[in-house]
């Protein structure tokens, strides 16, 4: 059987990290193909290759039998591969019609020319009508539309370019149920038109409704493919998580003490969250399930929602980072480059930012430097000297500095948001060891991660968040990869 | 290796200054020889140069007007106001902000000094009033930027006009001359040049600018407050994460800068011996250019006090060099503008290399 789009053994590495280790996949004409995988399985890298943002290192990609290797997004679009991103790419102040023809405006006299407004409206109307939404006013500014309508405009724009393949990245993540239904109808129309669709979603139920076949990605490899109607859900989940545990998680003996952090969420279905001194509490969930937001509320970076947060038994109606730091709470940001670190400033400045070594406002620079040297050797950071800019270090070493800030602050409650994201295996192992050592020193660790094996390997207790709520909390021993994924997807 | 690199980035504004001075020396010497040739027709260039070498003091008039001690005293004296302004501006720029209202603030403060002297205040009181007025303006700027989370460019662009208006209102639309009965005082002589031919003694205002430079450099590099300025400018999100009260710190930064603008206003008054509400229209340009030539980034997070002061000096040297060359005003403006753009381009190139 010949496919419209064929991928064969596609590989891609970023430095020493292999993002894709061999992906093969075939999508037929008029087929809706689900691409399923955990966070970090390589879905987004694959999409970036198809849309021309990255180039593959190895492997073959063919579109209708001809080799397809776009060097930039423009080439990909011209070849007939269109992307509908999770974040919409529209010009909010332009009208619906202007957005639909954007970049391909009908005009006389070439690019210098006069915009043919009539033709522009016709193109827009035709594209919208084909989607079954000919009623959307072509002159309305996009800003005035709902999210679902904006998404339609985006799809219509892609359709106006006569695409052969359309890729949807988590298209329903910000839609209501009714809007999602309408989107499914639009996808059915695309399918009837012969457009091949790749549909990326975490929601397996949704994939089952919309898609014909699926491919599961895991750790950068395609591990299974088949027809959705014939494959039981349990089998797909097994494919998603069923990896061998190859990394070593050192267990350092630690005992739990008093509850030091308690979150009582009025809106929560379960009993809320309580973290004890000397406990490593894991928090699992899909991207967008509200874990980072919860951490930021605990730390006082965002305003509290309908919940009560008690630190060391003391409950306060409002919180701020300075207050939390004074109480001994520290937050490691998931976004190291944009929030976690001042990349152009020195290791010393980054490490001592929450607790500068100073007397009466006067910095003791010599002592700061020697303290930094101590942390560099304790955390085995590969760095030249304390005055070096932190941005010059590798990702893993940067992360150690960001974590070192919490250690230097001597935080008693550590909120770690994706502490091992995007770092090498060696640094990961060190961070696991360090987390164990912190618990052994009677510190409470709240460990947010999207990587199930590390949660099972490192944590004492694991809670799962789903759609903004804490869905379930159990001791780590009572969870399996399978049940964690089920809880996160919301099937239990 | 790292230390060496830091040393060079520290020296680079000094090297730029040396380059400009050297260039003007060469240009002026060349011009002096050409003038000599015109006076003595028929002399070849080398011959003229040799004759002039015999009596350099009389022959190289243009060059002498540029590099003698007296000329450098003039350079420093003219730099003092821009340098003090640049000290305030560097606090703001490093924190990731900008203040376009500096020219108006300085003019307003100079009006305040003249007004209060005329109403019989002691010189010290008058100076303190100027400083307070500057601080108040800075506090308003900082509160608008931090409290309303507005873009500092727009806020201070608006304030530039507001403050200029206040200065005109206070001065009743005219320059404020001193009453005849006010005698000599230290405030009037801050930038008065004694013994113009020699380098020493330097006017008190120059010493004041030097002392303030040291003070600001120490605050920025040796105190927790200074550390916070850099933190906010290099990554505001990180600063917040690290428990820095970003908005209060911003208000403090603009206020402190306002104090320095107030002092610059007192110096401005001292130079003109009158309060001019329309004075210093180009001051914001000069001050921001000085800081940027000195290696500060307009995106915040980096900058050096030493560099900013040298940047201010560099611009005075450019102006006076151009005057000695008898270039017209428009040429000077073109050259100074080009130097600013070149400095920023060079800085970008240097950063890329890292």
pLDDT band at A198 (very low <50, low <70, confident <90, very high): very high
- Judging contacts by C-beta atoms under 8 Å, the chain A residues touching residue B217 are none
A345–B230: do the CB atoms touch at under 8 Å? Answer: yes
Closest CA to A282 of A461, A39, A40: A461
Give, in degrees to the nearest 5, the angle at Cα B273 between B110 and B327: 95
Domain shared by B214 and B134, yes or no = yes
Specify the CATH number for the domain of residue B261.
1.10.3470
Q: Is pLDDT at B99 greater than 80 in this prediction?
A: yes
- Judging contacts by C-beta atoms under 8 Å, the chain A residues touching residue B222 are 362-363, 365
Q: Is pLDDT at B294 greater than 60 in this prediction?
A: yes
Shortest Cα distance, chain B CAs vs residue A354, angstroms: 5
Pairing of strands A58-63, A5-14: antiparallel
Closest CA to B106 of B284, B241, B325: B284
pLDDT band at B4 (very low <50, low <70, confident <90, very high): low
- Whether B103 is in a domain gets the answer yes
Residues A119/A111, Cβ–Cβ less than 8 Å: no
A361-418: per-residue pLDDT in tens?
Answer: 999 999 999 999 999 999 988 888 899 899 888 788 899 999 999 999 999 999 999 9
DSSP A109: S
Confidence (pLDDT) at A405: 96
Nearest by CB to A339, which of B2, B222, B237?
B237
pLDDT band at A244 (very low <50, low <70, confident <90, very high): very low
Domain shared by B35 and B161, yes or no = no
B303-318: per-residue pLDDT in tens?
Answer: 899 999 999 999 899 8
Domain shared by B90 and B210, yes or no = yes
Q: Is pLDDT at A419 greater than 90 in this prediction?
A: yes
* Residue A357 contacts B where some CB pair is shorter than 8 Å: no
Instruction: Please report, for residues A29, A151, A153, A305, the alpha-carbon distance to residue A100 in angstroms, rounded to integers and kept in the order given.
Output: 24, 11, 6, 39
Confidence (pLDDT) at B211: 97
CA atoms within 13 A on the CB side of B83: 28
Taken as a whole, chain B contains a residue count of 354
Closest CA to B152 of B107, B101, B225: B101
- Whether B14 is in a domain gets the answer yes
Nearest by CB to A344, which of B2, B234, B245?
B234
Confidence (pLDDT) at A393: 84
- Judging contacts by C-beta atoms under 8 Å, the chain A residues touching residue B232 are none
* Residue A355 contacts B where some CB pair is shorter than 8 Å: no
Q: Which of B15, B34, B67 is the last residue of a domain?
A: B67
Sign of CA dihedral A305, A307, A313, A316: positive
Q: Which two tokens stand for residue B117?
A: 């002297």
Minimum CA–CA partner of A355 in chain B: B242
Of residues B351 and A119, more confidently modeled: A119
- Whether B72 is in a domain gets the answer no
Domain shared by B51 and B151, yes or no = no
Whole-angstrom distance, CA of residue B186 vs CA of residue A328 = 54
How confident is the prediction for chain B on average, in pLDDT?
Answer: 89
Confidence (pLDDT) at B94: 96
Confidence (pLDDT) at B166: 94
Taken as a whole, chain A contains a residue count of 492
Domain shared by B209 and B289, yes or no = yes
Confidence (pLDDT) at B351: 64
Confidence (pLDDT) at B216: 97
Instruction: Please report, for residues A187, A399, A403, A418, A450, the alpha-carbon distance to residue A335 in angstroms, rounded to integers and kept in the order given.
Output: 34, 10, 13, 9, 14
A332-357 residues labelled b (16+ CB within 10 A) or e (exposed): bbbebeebbbbbbbbbbbbbbbbbbb
Domain shared by B224 and B345, yes or no = yes
pLDDT band at B227 (very low <50, low <70, confident <90, very high): very high
Q: Tally the domains of chain B.
A: 2
What residue numbers bound the domain in which B39 lies? 1-67
Domain shared by B130 and B249, yes or no = yes
Of residues B264 and A248, more confidently modeled: B264
* Residue A338 contacts B where some CB pair is shorter than 8 Å: yes
Radius of gyration, alpha carbons of chain A: 25
Q: Is pLDDT at A40 greater than 70 in this prediction?
A: no
- Whether B269 is in a domain gets the answer yes
| Interface test mutation site (partner A, options B1, B220, B235, max chain A beta carbons within 10 A) | B235
Q: How many CB atoms lie within 10 A of CB B151?
A: 12
Of residues A61 and B353, more confidently modeled: A61
DSSP A384: S
A140-197: per-residue pLDDT in tens?
Answer: 898 888 888 888 898 888 888 888 999 998 888 777 777 888 889 989 999 998 999 9
Confidence (pLDDT) at B3: 63
Minimum CA–CA partner of B297 in chain A: A344
CA atoms within 13 A on the CB side of B134: 33
- Whether B180 is in a domain gets the answer yes
pLDDT band at B207 (very low <50, low <70, confident <90, very high): very high
| Interface contacts (A, B; CB < 8 Å) | 76
Domain shared by B47 and B154, yes or no = no
* Sheet with A314-315: strands ordered across: A273-276, A259-265, A307-311, A314-315
A85-108: per-residue pLDDT in tens?
Answer: 877 788 888 999 888 888 777 766
Domain shared by B83 and B20, yes or no = no
B30-88: per-residue pLDDT in tens?
Answer: 888 888 888 888 778 888 888 888 887 777 888 888 888 888 999 999 999 999 999 99
Q: Is pLDDT at A297 greater than 70 in this prediction?
A: yes
- Judging contacts by C-beta atoms under 8 Å, the chain A residues touching residue B244 are 322, 353
Cis previous bond, B201, omega within 30 = yes
Q: Is pLDDT at A110 greater than 70 in this prediction?
A: no
- Whether B39 is in a domain gets the answer yes
- Whether B230 is in a domain gets the answer yes
pLDDT band at B341 (very low <50, low <70, confident <90, very high): confident
Domain shared by B84 and B62, yes or no = no
Of residues A473 and A424, more confidently modeled: A473
Domain shared by B183 and B284, yes or no = yes
pLDDT above 90 as % of chain B: 52
Nearest by CB to B223, which of A322, A349, A361?
A361
Instruction: Please report, for residues A155, A159, A471, the alpha-carbon distance to residue A133 in angstroms, rounded to integers and kept in the order given.
Output: 11, 13, 37
Domain shared by B14 and B138, yes or no = no
Strand, coil or helix: A283:
strand
Q: Which two tokens stand for residue B108?
A: 């307003």
- Whether B74 is in a domain gets the answer no
Whole-angstrom distance, CA of residue A132 vs CA of residue A338 = 41
A48-70: per-residue pLDDT in tens?
Answer: 899 888 889 999 999 998 999 88
Confidence (pLDDT) at B219: 96
In sequence order, what are the residues at sequence separation of 6 or more whose Cβ sits closer than 8 angstroms to the Cβ of residue B284? B99, B100, B101, B102, B103, B160
Q: How many CB atoms lie within 10 A of CB B54?
A: 8
Confidence (pLDDT) at A286: 83
DSSP A412: S
Closest CA to B265 of B90, B153, B136, B92: B136
pLDDT band at B297 (very low <50, low <70, confident <90, very high): confident
Q: What pTM was computed for the model?
A: 0.78
- Average the pLDDT over A25-38 and give the result: 90
pLDDT band at A246 (very low <50, low <70, confident <90, very high): very low
pLDDT band at B354 (very low <50, low <70, confident <90, very high): very low
């Amino acid at each position: 059987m010949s496919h419209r789009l064929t991928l064969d053994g596609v590989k891609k590495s970023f430095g020493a990290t292999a993002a894709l280790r061999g992906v093969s996949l075939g999508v037929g004409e008029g087929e809706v193909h689900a691409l399923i995988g955990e966070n970090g399985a390589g879905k987004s890298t694959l999409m970036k290759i198809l849309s021309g943002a990255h180039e593959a290192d190895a492997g073959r990609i063919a579109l209708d039998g001809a080799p397809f290797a776009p060097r930039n997004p423009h080439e990909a679009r011209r070849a007939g591969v269109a992307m509908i991103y999770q974040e919409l790419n529209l010009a909010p102040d332009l009208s619906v019609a202007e957005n639909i023809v954007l970049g391909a405006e009908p005009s006389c006299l070439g690019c210098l020319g006069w915009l043919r407004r009539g033709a522009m409206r016709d193109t827009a109307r035709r594209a919208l009508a084909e989607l079954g939404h000919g009623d959307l006013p072509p002159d309305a500014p996009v800003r005035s539309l709902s999210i679902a309508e904006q998404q339609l405009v985006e799809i219509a724009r892609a359709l106006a370019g006569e695409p052969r393949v359309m890729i949807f990245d988590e298209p329903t993540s910000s839609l209501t149920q009714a809007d999602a239904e309408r989107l499914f109808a639009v996808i059915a129309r695309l399918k009837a038109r012969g457009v091949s669709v790749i549909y990326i979603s975490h929601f397996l139920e949704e994939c089952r409704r919309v898609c014909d076949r699926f491919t599961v990605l895991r750790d950068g490899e395609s591990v299974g493919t088949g027809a959705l109607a014939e494959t039981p859900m349990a089998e797909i989940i097994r494919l998603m998580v069923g990896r061998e545990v190859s990394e070593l998680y050192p267990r350092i003996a630690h005992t739990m003490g008093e509850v030091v952090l308690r979150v009582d969420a009025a809106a929560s279905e379960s009993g809320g969250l309580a973290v004890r001194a000397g406990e490593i509490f894991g928090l699992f969930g899909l991207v967008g399930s509200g874990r980072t937001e919860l951490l930021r509320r605990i730390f006082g970076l965002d305003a509290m929602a309908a919940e009560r947060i008690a630190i060391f038994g003391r409950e306060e109606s409002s919180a701020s980072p300075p207050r939390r730091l004074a109480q001994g709470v520290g937050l490691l940001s998931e976004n190291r480059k944009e929030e976690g670190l001042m990349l152009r400033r020195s290791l010393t400045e980054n490490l001592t930012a929450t607790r500068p070594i100073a007397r009466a406002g006067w910095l003791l620079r010599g002592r700061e430097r020697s303290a930094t040297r101590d942390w560099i050797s304790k955390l085995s950071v590969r760095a030249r000297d304390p005055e070096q800019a932190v941005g010059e270090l590798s990702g893993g070493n940067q992360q150690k500095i960001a974590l070192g800030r919490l250690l230097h602050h001597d935080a008693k409650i550590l909120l770690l948001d994706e502490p091992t994201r995007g770092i090498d295996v060696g640094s990961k192992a060190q961070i696991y060891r360090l987390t164990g050592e912190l618990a052994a020193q009677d510190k409470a660790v709240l460990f947010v991660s999207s990587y199930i094996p590390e949660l099972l390997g490192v944590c004492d207790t694991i809670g799962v968040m789903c759609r903004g709520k804490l869905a379930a909390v159990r001791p780590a021993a009572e969870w399996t990869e399978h049940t964690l994924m089920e809880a996160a997807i919301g099937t239990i | 290796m790292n230390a060496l690199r830091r040393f060079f980035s520290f020296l680079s504004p000094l090297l730029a200054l040396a380059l400009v001075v050297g260039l003007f020396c060469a240009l002026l010497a060349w011009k002096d020889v050409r003038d000599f040739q015109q006076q003595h027709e028929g002399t070849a260039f080398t011959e003229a140069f040799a004759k002039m070498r015999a009596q350099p003091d009389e022959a190289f008039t243009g060059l002498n007007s540029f590099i003698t001690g007296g000329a450098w005293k003039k350079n420093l004296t003219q730099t003092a106001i821009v340098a003090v302004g640049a000290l305030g501006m560097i606090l703001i720029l490093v924190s990731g902000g900008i203040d376009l209202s500096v020219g108006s603030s300085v003019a307003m403060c100079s009006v305040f000094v003249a007004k209060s002297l005329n109403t019989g205040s002691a010189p010290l009181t008058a100076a303190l009033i100027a400083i307070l007025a500057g601080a108040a303006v800075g506090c308003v700027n900082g509160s608008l930027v931090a409290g309303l989370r507005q873009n500092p460019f727009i806020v201070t662009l608006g304030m530039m006009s507001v403050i200029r208006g206040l200065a005109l209102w206070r001065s009743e639309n005219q320059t404020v001359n001193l009453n005849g009965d006010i005698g000599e005082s230290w405030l009037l002589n801050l930038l008065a040049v004694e013994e113009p031919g020699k380098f020493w003694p330097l006017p008190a205002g120059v010493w004041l600018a030097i002392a303030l430079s040291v003070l600001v450099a120490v605050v920025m590099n040796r105190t927790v407050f200074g550390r916070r300025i850099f933190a906010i400018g290099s990554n505001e999100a990180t600063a917040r994460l690290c428990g820095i009260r970003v908005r209060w710190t911003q208000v403090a930064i603009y206020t402190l800068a306002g104090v320095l603008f107030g002092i610059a206003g007192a110096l401005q008054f001292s130079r003109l011996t009158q309060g001019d509400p329309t004075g210093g229209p180009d001051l914001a340009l000069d001050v921001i250019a000085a800081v940027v030539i000195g290696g500060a980034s307009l995106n915040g997070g980096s900058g050096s006090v030493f560099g900013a002061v040298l940047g201010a000096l560099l611009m005075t040297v450019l102006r006076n060099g151009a005057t000695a060359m008898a270039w017209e005003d428009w040429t000077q403006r073109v050259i100074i503008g080009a130097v600013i753009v070149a400095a920023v381009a060079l800085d970008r190139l240097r950063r890329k290399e890292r």
